[in-house]
Amino acid sequence: MNSTRQQKIASLLQRELANILLQDSKSIYNCMITVTQVTITSDLSIARAYLSIYMAPDKDIVIGAVRANTKDIRFRLGQKIKNQLRVVPQLEFFIDDTLDYMENIDRLLKQ
């Protein structure tokens, strides 16, 4: 069960990561990326961000590029949240494929 503090920090990280990835998504990744969810460990050391990737021919390449830029993204995140958090958590990125899953179920139901 997540504490109120974990939920507040996860919400803050989700908002700021979304802004950072929105700035980079067209120029660097050539697609649209949204942050659907952020979870944070109880010791606040690791944040797991789940990303929805749109208009990309290969989502694995995009998530690989995001993971390769994790150090830069974490630095920029630290610049934005330095007044709210003392330590910026390590970032882990995952593909959120729930929309693809829902579309597949919808397509199967229509058949």
Give per-residue pLDDT as tens, 85-108. Answer: 889 999 999 998 877 777 788 888
Q: What is the dihedral of CA 10, 11, 15, 21, to 10 degrees?
A: 30
pTM as predicted = 0.84
In the chain, the domains with their CATH numbers are: 4-110 (3.30.300.20)
Amino acid at 61: I
8-42 confidence digits (pLDDT tens): 999 999 999 999 998 887 777 788 888 999 999 99
Cβ–Cβ < 8 Å for 67, 73: no
35, 44, 90 from 7: Cα distances, Å = 15, 11, 17
